[in-house]
Amino acid sequence: MTTHIDTRSVSDFTEYAYLNYAMYVIMDRALPHIADGLKPVQRRIVYAMSELGLKHTAKPKKSARTVGDVLGKYHPHGDIACYEAMVLMAQPFSYRYPLISGQGNWGSPDDPKSFAAMRYTEAKMSQYANTLLAELEQGTVDWQDNFDGSLTEPVTLPARLPNILLNGTTGIAVGMATDIPPHNLNEVVKACIRLLKNPDLSVKQLAQSIPAPDLPTTAEIITPKDELITMYETGRGSYKMRATYHIDPNQKNLVVIDALPYQVSGNKIIEQIAKLMNDKKLPWVVDANDESDNANPCRIVIELKKGKLDIDKIMSHLFANTDLETSFRVNMNMIGVNGKPEVKNLKTILSEWLSVRRGVVIRRLNHRLDKIDKRLHILAGLLIAYLNIDEVIRIIREEDDPKLELMNRYGLSDIQADAILDIKLRQLAKLEEIELNAERDHLEAERAVIAEQLANPDALTALLIDELTADAKEHGDARRSPVVERDEATSLKATELISAEPVTVVISQAGWIRLAKGHSTDPREMNYRAGDGYLTHALGKSTERLILLDNTGRSYGLDTVNLPSARGQGDPITSLLNLASGSKIEQLLFNTPHNIIMASSTGYGFVNSINNLDTAQKAGKTSINLGDGTLLPVALIDEADTLVAVSISNGNLLIFPLDDLPQLAKGKGNKLVNLKGDETITAITSLSADDSLVISAGKRTLTLKPNDIANYTGKRAGRGAALPKGFGKVNAMTKLIKDSE
């Protein structure tokens, strides 16, 4: 006996299994259905609560009771996952219109996951949830077997409102995801009514009623209008939310944040601000505290330095660098009427939901019509009995089979005969007959209305509009998230909002840097570490960038706010800059609107701008090619300067026109003097024709008057003339401006 075994390749089996799993995740776990806007687990939670009698008017029951029913009857998955889905529907800061009203600890905006265990919390359905369930038992939806076939559950709920847009949802499936933002009920209903009246409306026209999402927070939506319209036209995009703030009326240096973007934690904001402060990227902030309480659900206080600060610019800086401004992705992917996942635009969503709603209402009306017809049939039989009450009583008392006799005598149906036989003696009063006639007339009038609604599409549309209007009146509220146009948030440089104060920057021989306020400090008299001492310093303003030059010709830039105070002995410059091995900072100057002369000891130089030396790179940048030489102290060029003075190690001095030097951003430059043998340049400076030149050689100084300077004037790349005896080793040259003599 041989048994045939069906075989498949591993690839075929894997593909089949993966596709089945993918479809299961998409259809039964991750994506909501357009009809009620719910995922399967959410739908089962709501239905299970309705079966437990947990209406909004009922007394709440333990959440564990609900979770147990959901798992045992409809959703055999993890209890924690089920409870978390339940918690989400109960959090007013997560759902725009919560489906569950909870008692106990259901989490907080700062920590939505901090909810208590399900054995401690209690829950019932919210009043809004009634819009999903009110018509459930009226023949409005299809039913399916539960997982073991022992019970039935609704395929979807007969939502009276487009919950898919009102509460939105997020989810990750296999190969796709969904991010549908919540919206305002009144706005969505208004758009639905407009679409019912005019099905040809465009998305742009519908966006007049639904300008943007509406989140359960009063933070601002700042996305431009045209981007929001594009988002609704495509079903994809994003929108930005920005925190709102005000200035404390009593303390002008306190900024109070009173609303955060959706699902942004106040604790996280405090952490982000603290990190910026530690990284010295927020020099204007003294402190930040979260003072939120029951009276003020969101109150984050930022203390600024006292003084004249542009608070709006500081907040713009915070918006750009923290979650005080957050972008949210939109991907309106859902299970449509056709049972397939699809990204839909705003009009498609509303149109498709309205078609679902129209179908639900038609089914409800037909269900009601059927009940009316059955009741009218019974009433007709009862009224026949009342018209012949004496004979009916006789038949019931005397006949062996009164039911059959009644049916034959008066042409009654089986149901009518049973209704007559079920009449109680006290119902035989004349008043009861009057009530039966009144009930019949009322039902016939109702039947006529329903018949007209079913037969006339315009009448059905009017009914839909009336019901939407009534639900909006009962459950609607004002928009919470204002739509505001704001300038784009931008990061600021640390110096942009600091007051201009005089500062002195000092660097030691060992490379330790510090900053002292004012210009009165004598850097040479400061305390230095053992074995260390003064190297150089620079005078400037707190708003100016500090330029540093090393012995290799590289330049660096720093904000003064990032420098340690001179109250201590400073920090190693290597903690602020990435210096190459063997490199050492030798010169400091502030980034002022000056040109400078940069020169090497080998006799080459050029004119540069201080601004060209600045860089944000910690490793700096090459500013001059020194070759085998060393970098001379840079010389600041004043507007009146027209000459360049260069001293040679042999004791010569050459003065030539400043215009003979090229202006470069970096490089080697042109030859300054004609050097011979081991000669080098010892000093360089610029001056005007009216300035005197002070030459220092050791402890000796020589002042050359303007008339004397002519003796050393020549062409660039010349040799100049010899200085007086004793000035063979010039170590410095400075100009003496005429007015200061």
Model confidence pLDDT, tens digit, residues 481-512: 999 999 999 888 766 766 778 999 999 999 99
Instruction: State yes or no: is 97 an active-site residue.
Output: no
Which residue in 43, 95, 51 sits closest to 69, CA to CA? 51
Strand order in the sheet with 236-242: 169-172, 177-180, 325-331, 236-242, 220-221
Give Cβ neighbours of residue 619 (< 8 Å, ≥ 6 apart): 577, 578, 580
pLDDT surpassing 50 at residue 24: no
pLDDT classification of 280: cutoffs 50, 70, 90: confident
Contact yes or no for 300/319 (Cβ under 8 A): no
Q: What is the mean pLDDT of residues 697-725?
A: 91
Q: What is the mean pLDDT of residues 541-567?
A: 91
| Mean pLDDT taken over the chain | 91
Q: Kindly state the helix (H) or strand (E) to which residue 20 belongs, with its residue range.
A: helix 10-25
pLDDT classification of 2: cutoffs 50, 70, 90: low
pLDDT surpassing 70 at residue 322: yes
The Cα-based distances of 123 to 57, 68, 159, 187, 544 in angstroms read 12, 13, 21, 29, 61
CA distance 670 to 659: 12
Q: What is the mean pLDDT of residues 691-704?
A: 91
Residue with more model confidence, 398 or 27: 398
Bridge-based pairing of strands 700-704 and 285-290 is unpaired
The Cα-based distances of 50 to 42, 82, 151, 526 in angstroms read 13, 16, 15, 80
pLDDT classification of 25: cutoffs 50, 70, 90: very low
Q: Which of 21, 120, 232, 410 is catalytic?
A: 120
Question: What region, left, alpha or beta, does residue 231 occupy, with left being phi > 0 and alpha being psi -120 to 50 degrees?
Answer: alpha
pLDDT surpassing 80 at residue 318: yes
pTM across the whole model: 0.76
Which residue in 95, 105, 106 sits closest to 132, CA to CA? 95
The Cα-based distances of 210 to 173, 420, 483, 569 in angstroms read 28, 57, 11, 61
Farthest-apart Cα atoms in the chain, separation:
158
Whether the CA torsion 608, 610, 616, 622 is positive or negative: it is positive
- Look at residue 21 in the predicted model and tell me its pLDDT: 47
For 4-13, 112-121, 511-520, which range has the lowest pLDDT when averaged over its residues?
4-13
Bridge partners of 592?
A: none
pLDDT surpassing 60 at residue 87: yes
pLDDT classification of 155: cutoffs 50, 70, 90: very high
Whether the CA torsion 684, 689, 691, 692 is positive or negative: it is positive
Give Cβ neighbours of residue 44 (< 8 Å, ≥ 6 apart): 70, 74, 75, 153
CA distance 81 to 67: 10
Q: What is the mean pLDDT of residues 708-728?
A: 91
Bridge-based pairing of strands 236-242 and 341-343 is unpaired
> What are the φ/ψ torsions at residue 704 (nearest 5 degrees)?
-100, 120
Give Cβ neighbours of residue 548 (< 8 Å, ≥ 6 apart): 507, 555, 556, 557, 558, 573, 577, 585, 587, 588, 620
Question: Per residue in 283-312, pLDDT tens?
Answer: 889 999 999 888 888 999 999 988 778 899
pLDDT classification of 237: cutoffs 50, 70, 90: very high
Question: Per residue in 51-64, pLDDT tens?
Answer: 999 999 999 999 99
Residue with more model confidence, 308 or 580: 580
- Look at residue 29 in the predicted model and tell me its pLDDT: 57
Q: Which two tokens stand for residue 282?
A: 């927020």
- Look at residue 66 in the predicted model and tell me its pLDDT: 96
pLDDT surpassing 60 at residue 26: no
Which residue in 475, 299, 444, 310 sits closest to 379, CA to CA? 444
Question: Per residue in 208-221, pLDDT tens?
Answer: 999 999 999 999 99
CA distance 269 to 273: 6
- Look at residue 306 in the predicted model and tell me its pLDDT: 82
Sequential DSSP letters for 589-601: EE--S-EEEEEBT
CA distance 672 to 686: 13
pLDDT surpassing 60 at residue 16: no
Question: Per residue in 246-265, pLDDT tens?
Answer: 999 988 889 999 999 999 99
Q: Detail the DSSP E strand segments found in 181-294.
A: 220-221, 236-242, 244-247, 254-259, 285-290
The Cα-based distances of 191 to 31, 162, 164, 465, 587 in angstroms read 24, 11, 14, 11, 69
Residue with more model confidence, 430 or 112: 112
- Look at residue 4 in the predicted model and tell me its pLDDT: 63
pLDDT classification of 174: cutoffs 50, 70, 90: low
